[in-house]
């Protein structure tokens, strides 16, 4: 175990202490909690809790973020969509995690006329796009062989290069049907007809936004797990949600996304498919039995949910 985020800042003065990074490097995989603490939002950016997860992603070369989105049985009525629309969702968001506007130069400056300006540079180098393209195409090969690349090539040069490279890489996967969609349209289609998507590959910022949106299409952000993979089997596994300081220590947080992240860890880092599937089935069973947390408008607490999943397992 290592401290990260707000807790690490309070204890060691840094959200990602060197000891924690060292521990992370020495392991085969990382199960990550969640970061974010609005009481620390006043700190300079490099000390804010979010830097813990951004730092781990970058330092450890975790460039491929897999965010599967499926609707669990019985959840159709609890999503933000009509049940018959939600029922069709079974997609995978492949989000690039090491580049884009997240990691470009940024700053604030004062212009000659005295106005303050904030700026963040968006860029992707072709090799960065190429490696996530391969992740997307390989994922598509293992599913329905359809890959939708989401960009904003009608406005952004970064996106035009993204699209060009996607098309180049597609030549290596003749069996996969590659389509392109602008991100604004993708946001709309995700609500209108999410069943049309199988694998979506997109950049860091668009993937961040679309995955939160997709979570509400299947019920709650408290149910979505993710894997952040480096080349090989090394990975970091975390729920796609942040922390919830307002309910800290109250035993109210839904642990299901974290439990499902552990399942992804067994699958992707340790090759334990059967065990991963058992855990996922146990979560599905607990949900079907009506064990649901506050994020789903119900009342089950952290321990109750954990016990129910264990029981089902």
Q: Which residues are catalytic?
A: 102, 152, 184, 208, 212
Q: Which stretch binds ligand IPM (CB under 6 A): 46-54, 145-153, 252-260, 270-278?
A: 46-54
If one asks whether residue 50 binds ligand IPM (CB under 6 A), the answer comes out as: yes
14 to 87, 134, 171: CA distances (angstroms): 43, 35, 45
* 262 within 8 A of 29, measured Cβ to Cβ: no
Contact range with Mg ion by CB under 5 A, out of 57-65, 141-149, 195-203, 204-212: 204-212
Considering beta carbons, is residue 36 or 203 the nearer one to ligand IPM? 36
Which stretch in 48-56, 145-153, 174-182, 278-286 sits in contact with ligand IPM by CB under 6 A?
A: 48-56
Write the interaction track for ligand IPM spanning residues 149-188; mark x where CB under 6 A is met and - where it is not: ----------------------------------------
CB of 238 to ligand IPM, least distance (A): 7
Nearer to ligand IPM, 219 or 242 (CB): 242
Contact between 240 and ligand IPM by CB under 6 A: the answer reads yes
- Size of the chain, expressed as the number of residues it contains: 313
Cα–Cα distance measured from residue 257 to residue 46, given in angstroms and rounded to the nearest whole number:
27
CA–CA distance, 169 with 177 (Å, rounded to integer): 12
Q: 296: phi > 0 → left, psi -120 to 50 → alpha, else beta; which?
A: alpha
Given a contact cutoff of 8 angstroms between Cβ atoms, the answer to whether 31 and 56 are in contact is: no
Among 100, 208, 280, 295, binds Mg ion (CB under 5 A): 208
* Nearest-CB residue for Mg ion: 208
DSSP H or E stretch at residue 92: strand 90-96
Q: Spell out the alpha helix ranges (H) of the chain.
A: 5-12, 18-26, 50-59, 83-86, 126-141, 157-170, 183-192, 204-217, 256-268, 273-288, 302-312
Does residue 53 touch ligand IPM according to CB under 6 A? yes
For position 6 contacting ligand IPM by CB under 6 A, the verdict is no
**Which residues contact ligand IPM by CB under 6 A?**
35-36, 50, 53-54, 208, 240, 242
**Which residues contact Mg ion by CB under 5 A?**
208
């Amino acid at each position: 175990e290592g401290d990260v985020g707000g807790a690490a800042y309070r204890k060691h003065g840094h959200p990602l202490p060197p000891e924690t990074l060292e521990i992370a490097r020495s392991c085969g995989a990382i199960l990550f909690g969640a970061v974010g603490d609005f009481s620390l939002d006043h700190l300079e950016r490099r000390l804010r809790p979010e830097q813990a997860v951004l730092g781990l992603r970058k330092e450890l070369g975790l460039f491929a973020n897999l965010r599967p989105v499926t609707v669990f049985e019985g959840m159709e009525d609890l999503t933000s969509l009509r049940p018959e629309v939600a029922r069709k969702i079974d997609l995978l968001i492949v989000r690039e995690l090491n580049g884009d506007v997240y990691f470009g130069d940024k700053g604030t400056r004062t212009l000659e006329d005295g106005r303050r300006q904030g700026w963040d540079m968006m860029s992707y180098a072709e090799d960065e796009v190429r490696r996530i393209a391969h992740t997307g195409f390989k994922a598509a090969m293992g599913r329905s062989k359809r890959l939708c690349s989401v960009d904003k090539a009608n406005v952004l040069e970064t996106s035009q290069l993204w699209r060009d490279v996607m098309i180049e890489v597609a030549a290596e996967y003749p069996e996969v049907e590659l389509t392109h969609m602008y991100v604004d349209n993708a946001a709309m289609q995700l609500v209108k007809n999410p069943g049309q998507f199988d694998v979506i590959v997109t950049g860091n910022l668009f993937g961040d936004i679309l995955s939160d949106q997709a979570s509400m299409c299947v019920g709650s952000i408290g149910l979505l797990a993710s894997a952040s993979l480096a080349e090989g089997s090394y990975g970091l596994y975390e729920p796609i949600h942040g922390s919830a300081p307002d309910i800290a220590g109250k035993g109210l947080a839904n642990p299901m996304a974290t439990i499902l992240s552990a399942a992804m860890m067994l699958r992707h880092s340790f090759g334990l498919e059967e065990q991963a599937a058992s855990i996922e089935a146990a979560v599905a069973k607990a949900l079907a039995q009506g064990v649901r947390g506050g994020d789903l408008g119900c009342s089950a607490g952290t321990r109750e949910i954990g016990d129910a999943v264990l029981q089902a397992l």
